[in-house]
């Protein structure tokens, strides 16, 4: 599965970067969303993927039974998802504001600091 996921991650990165290279600022934000999904999946893949073994301790035991998925990677991804959302919210409001000022969805018109 890790092999397959490597190509999924690669595909997400490629799509994200293509979008970030566009002149439209909306596309840039779409690229950012794809990129953060790709990065999270990359982390997830690297921790090793296990089916049906959530990192939970059964009632009455002090240790999980058998091998469980890596909880640290999951904790990190959780944090990343939430922070990514915060950044995205900020970016979306920012582009909206920028559009009001520049009146174009074109980054080439935002080169100057004066506007």
Partner 1 sequence: MLLAILSGFLLATVAPAVHRQTGMNSGWVLAILPAALFLYFLSFLPAVGSGESIVISYPWVPGLDIQLSFLVDGLSLLFALLISGIGFFIVAYAGRYLEGHKDLGRFYVLILSFMASMLGLVLSDNLISLFVFWELTSITSYLLIGFNHEDATARRSALQGLFVTVGGGLALLTGLVMMAVVTGSYELSEILSSGDALRDHGWYVAIVLLVLLGCFTKSAQVPFHFWLPRAMAAPTPVSAYLHSATMVKAGVYLMARLNPSLGATDLWLILLGVFGALTMFTGVFMSIRSTGVKQVLAYSTVMALGTLTMLIGVGTDTAIMAAMAFLLAHSLYKGALFLIAGILDHEAGCKDFLQTGGLRHALPITATFAAIAALSLGGVIPMFGFVAKELLFEAVLEAPSLSGLLSLLTVASAILVVAVAAVVGIKPYWGPRVETPKTPHHEAPPAMLAGPAVLASLGLLFGVGVAMVDRGLLSAAAGAVYGSPVETYLSLWHGFNLPLMLSLLSLVLGLTIYFNWDRFRTATGFMDDLKRFGPERAYDKSMDGLVSISEWQTRVLQNGYLRYYLLTILLSTVALVTFSIARAGGLEIQMSLAGVRIQELAIVAVLLLAALVSVTTSSRLGAVASLGAVGFSVALIYVLFSAADVGITQVLVETLTVIMLVLVLFRLPGFLGLTPQALRIRDAVVALAFGVMVALLSLAASSTRFADSISEYFIRESEPSGFGRNIVNVILVDFRALDTLGEIVVLALAAVGVYAMIKLRAEDNRK
Segment 20 to 79, residues that bind partner 1, using CB under 8 A: 20-24, 26-30, 33-34, 37-38, 40-42, 44-46, 49-59, 61-64, 68-75, 77-79
> Given the structure tokens 């409001």, which residue do they identify?
93
Radius of gyration (C-alpha) of the chain in whole angstroms:
20
State how far the Cα of 85 lies from the Cα of 36, in Å rounded to an integer.
Answer: 9
State how far the Cα of 100 lies from the Cα of 35, in Å rounded to an integer.
Answer: 26
Question: Shortest approach of partner 1 to residue 24 CB, angstroms?
Answer: 6
Question: Shortest approach of partner 1 to residue 111 CB, angstroms?
Answer: 4
Q: How far is CA 60 from CA 6, 26, 55, 90, 92, in A?
A: 38, 51, 15, 44, 47
Question: Shortest approach of partner 1 to residue 5 CB, angstroms?
Answer: 8
Identify which of 76, 85, 113, 81 has the alpha carbon closest to the alpha carbon of residue 98.
Answer: 113
Question: Shortest approach of partner 1 to residue 73 CB, angstroms?
Answer: 8
Which positions from 75 to 114 touch partner 1 by CB under 8 A, shown as an x/- string? x-xxx-xxxxxxxxxx-xxxxxx-xx---xxxxx--xx--
């Amino acid at each position: 599965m890790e092999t397959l996921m490597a190509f999924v991650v690669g595909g997400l990165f490629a799509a994200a970067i293509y979008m970030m290279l566009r002149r439209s600022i909306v596309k840039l934000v779409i690229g950012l969303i794809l990129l953060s999904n790709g990065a999270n999946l990359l982390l997830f893949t690297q921790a090793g993927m296990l089916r049906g073994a959530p990192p939970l301790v059964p009632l009455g035991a002090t240790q999980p039974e058998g091998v469980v998925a890596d909880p640290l990677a999951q904790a990190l991804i959780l944090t990343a998802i939430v922070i990514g959302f915060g950044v995205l919210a900020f970016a979306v409001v920012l582009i909206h504001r920028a559009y009001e000022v520049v009146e174009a969805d074109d980054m080439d018109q935002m080169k100057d600091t004066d506007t």
